[in-house]
Amino acid sequence: MPSIAAEPVRREAEDAELQAVLQAHLFARSPALTRLLSYLCEKVFAGETEQIKEYSVAIDVFDRQDSFDPDVDSIVRVQANRLRKHLAKYYASEGAAHPLHITIPVGQYVPVFERMPGEVAVAEVPSSTTAQLPSASVIKKGSRPWRKGLMLLVGNLALLGIVAAVVFVVHRNFVRQNASPPGQIPGAYSQQVPSETLVGLPAGEEVRILAGSTRKYVDHAGKLWNPDSYFSGGAAVPTSIPHIWRTQDPIIYRSSRQGEFTYNIPLKPGVYELHLHFAETFYGPENPGGGGEGSRVMAVRANGEPLLRDFDVLDDAGGERTADVKVFRDIAPAADGQLHLSFSSDNSGYGMLSAIEILPGIRGQARPVRIVARDVPYYSNDSHWWGPDSYFKGGQLSVSPHPVAGTDDPEFYETERWGHFSYAIPLPPGRYILTLHFIEHHTRVENSGRNAASEAGSNAAPAERVFNVFCNGKTILASLNIRGQAGEDRPLVRTLRGLEPNAQGKLLVDFVPVTGYATVTAIEVIPE
């Protein structure tokens, strides 16, 4: 059992290990996980483990309101699971030799600092700051003789790390007492990861409303959608249709407000980007209302000015049961501080709306769109936030464990969407730069996850993959062969300029197989 005198040294070693993890390349791109791990460990250091509850974590770390309901919002469980995976990955790679490992047992949120076999026992570390080599008696019994030299080196490095940790902790505590930045999360000193405001987007409030819904929802990007509010008129209409195309979050489109109605949403002064979400789940050949195009045609106005005329969701989306997003830039509240949105029938049917999303805008241009082919968001090395896969139709997601070369951000290229698929990316009018990220993994996932090359034998040459890419019906990449142009397990990036949305306000990017399947890892669209 460690002595009382050894307790401060042990705590300093644990704090030093926490800082090493937070500064690791893997965690620097995951600000949410950085904040979560900092918070949990600081509670342990303060002896407040009884305060580590799902409710308190949601409020303190993820900015949820006092009305947080864990049955509706799974943000803490999802992020804790991601944190466990990141820690396991870190200690399987760059942190493997550390004498201390941080783990979070499944079903719990309290971190455990686990001492690895063969390290220097804390109680044996001299209290003097004079560096000394540990004696052989410090090494655990049963160690093999050939390991003693290695253990002496590890012990010496651990001692030096503890000394450095003392200096770090004293300096950190001084800074915390004398300068505490507003809104900083406890324990996150020097770990504030750049947000979108550092990459060209202004600060401002975000508003997300689920039309016709009485419950809130957290989407795959970790964004909170609030129940219906600020409305007048119309009726809430639910739908039982389970699948909605072009989204990972069908819940956003399973309720709507229909009829003649308005929204009066209070906003702070500024410029915003408005996203209106629709999905036609009533009219259509397989839907309750039958019919098809022309069954519902409506008009939408903002502060009395027309946004949409003769708008037919089914026609605009290219089909029923399909998420359709319309994007408008340079939106501002009226003189009374509210954004007034009105929805009405133009010719037939009723007005309809699935959801409203209001984001901080960039005057005169659209916000950048960054999509990575995975079901969770991702922070890249350049501090850009990439949203989870969206706007897609067709294809499948897969992950490759094969190492990636030729990039300082190999984790970015671990996933892909493959098959015969398309993306319908909503944009306001303008000219855009489209950047596509590809990679050809050696262990390619195809045909229900079976690798044709491995079936034929380990000496068989991997199958060729050739495909075309079209944007709004025009060829932008012909007969693309990733392996032929970049080799295996190396990124290939292609940038196309001067692209404009089609009449429906979308870049419709089609990935069409020629040999094998098409693939893409990430898509970026920025104003030109």
pLDDT digits (tens, 9 = 90+) for 254-264: 999 999 999 99
Asked if the model's pLDDT at residue 120 lies above 70, the reply is no
| pLDDT value of position 118 | 59
Asked if the model's pLDDT at residue 35 lies above 70, the reply is yes
Listed in sequence order, the residues at least 6 apart from 305 whose beta carbon sits closer than 8 Å to its beta carbon are: none
Q: Coil, helix or strand for 187?
A: coil
Give percent above pLDDT 70 in the chain.
Answer: 78
Asked if the model's pLDDT at residue 267 lies above 50, the reply is yes
Of the spans 29-33, 59-63, 254-258, which averages the highest pLDDT? Answer: 254-258
Whether 279 contacts 354, CB under 8 Å: yes
- Residue 426 has φ and ψ, to the nearest 5°, of -75, 135
Whether 402 contacts 441, CB under 8 Å: yes
| pLDDT value of position 443 | 53
Going by pLDDT thresholds of 50, 70 and 90, the confidence category of residue 462 is low
Report which DSSP code applies to 461.
Answer: P
What's the CATH number for 369-527?
Answer: 2.60.120.430
- Residue 505 has φ and ψ, to the nearest 5°, of 75, 40
Find the range with the poorest average confidence among 32-46, 324-338, 466-480. Answer: 32-46
Listed in sequence order, the residues at least 6 apart from 312 whose beta carbon sits closer than 8 Å to its beta carbon are: 293, 294, 296, 297, 298
CA 442 from centroid of its chain's CA atoms:
26
Strands 338-348, 297-302: pairing kind: antiparallel
Asked if the model's pLDDT at residue 156 lies above 60, the reply is no
Of the spans 130-134, 202-206, 348-352, which averages the highest pLDDT? Answer: 348-352
Using the structure block, give the residue that is written with the tokens 């080799």.
Answer: 487
Using the structure block, give the residue that is written with the tokens 């699971």.
Answer: 81
Question: Given this structure, which CATH class describes domain 207-360?
Answer: mainly beta
Asked if the model's pLDDT at residue 460 lies above 60, the reply is no
| pLDDT value of position 138 | 29
Going by pLDDT thresholds of 50, 70 and 90, the confidence category of residue 205 is confident
Find the range with the poorest average confidence among 103-112, 182-191, 193-202, 296-305. Answer: 182-191
Average pLDDT rounded to a whole number, residues 411-419? 94
Going by pLDDT thresholds of 50, 70 and 90, the confidence category of residue 458 is very low
Listed in sequence order, the residues at least 6 apart from 458 whose beta carbon sits closer than 8 Å to its beta carbon are: none
| Identity of the amino acid at 513 | P
| pLDDT value of position 146 | 37
Average pLDDT rounded to a whole number, residues 408-435? 96
Using the structure block, give the residue that is written with the tokens 């069954």.
Answer: 295
Asked if the model's pLDDT at residue 242 lies above 80, the reply is yes
**Which is nearest to 113 in space by CA: 177, 208, 7, 17?**
17
Among left, alpha and beta (phi > 0; psi -120 to 50; other), residue 286 is: alpha
Residues spanned by CATH 2.60.120.430 within the chain? Answer: 207-360, 369-527
- Residue 79 has φ and ψ, to the nearest 5°, of -70, -35
Strands 231-238, 255-266: pairing kind: antiparallel
Asked if the model's pLDDT at residue 162 lies above 50, the reply is no
Listed in sequence order, the residues at least 6 apart from 132 whose beta carbon sits closer than 8 Å to its beta carbon are: 126, 159
| pLDDT value of position 472 | 97
pTM: 0.65
Burial class (CB in 10 A: 0-12, 13-18, 19+), 419: middle
Residues 245, 250: Cα–Cα separation, whole Å: 8
| pLDDT value of position 446 | 44
Give percent above pLDDT 90 in the chain.
Answer: 54
> Which pLDDT tens digit goes with each residue over 470-513?
999 999 999 999 999 999 999 999 999 999 999 999 999 999 99
Residues 253, 211: Cα–Cα separation, whole Å: 9
What is the distance in angstroms between the CA of the first residue and the CA of the last residue of the chain?
A: 64
Stretch (H or E) spanning 21: helix 6-22
Whether 21 contacts 90, CB under 8 Å: yes
Tokens of 44: 């342990």
Average pLDDT rounded to a whole number, residues 395-401? 90
Q: Coil, helix or strand for 42?
A: helix
Average pLDDT rounded to a whole number, residues 148-163? 43
Find the range with the poorest average confidence among 81-95, 406-420, 474-488. Answer: 81-95
Going by pLDDT thresholds of 50, 70 and 90, the confidence category of residue 204 is low
- Residue 199 has φ and ψ, to the nearest 5°, of -120, 30
Asked if the model's pLDDT at residue 227 lies above 70, the reply is yes
Biggest CA–CA distance in the chain, Å, is 88
Residues 465, 515: Cα–Cα separation, whole Å: 5
Whether 78 contacts 7, CB under 8 Å: no
Whether 188 contacts 60, CB under 8 Å: no
Find the range with the poorest average confidence among 16-25, 51-60, 191-200, 335-344. Answer: 191-200
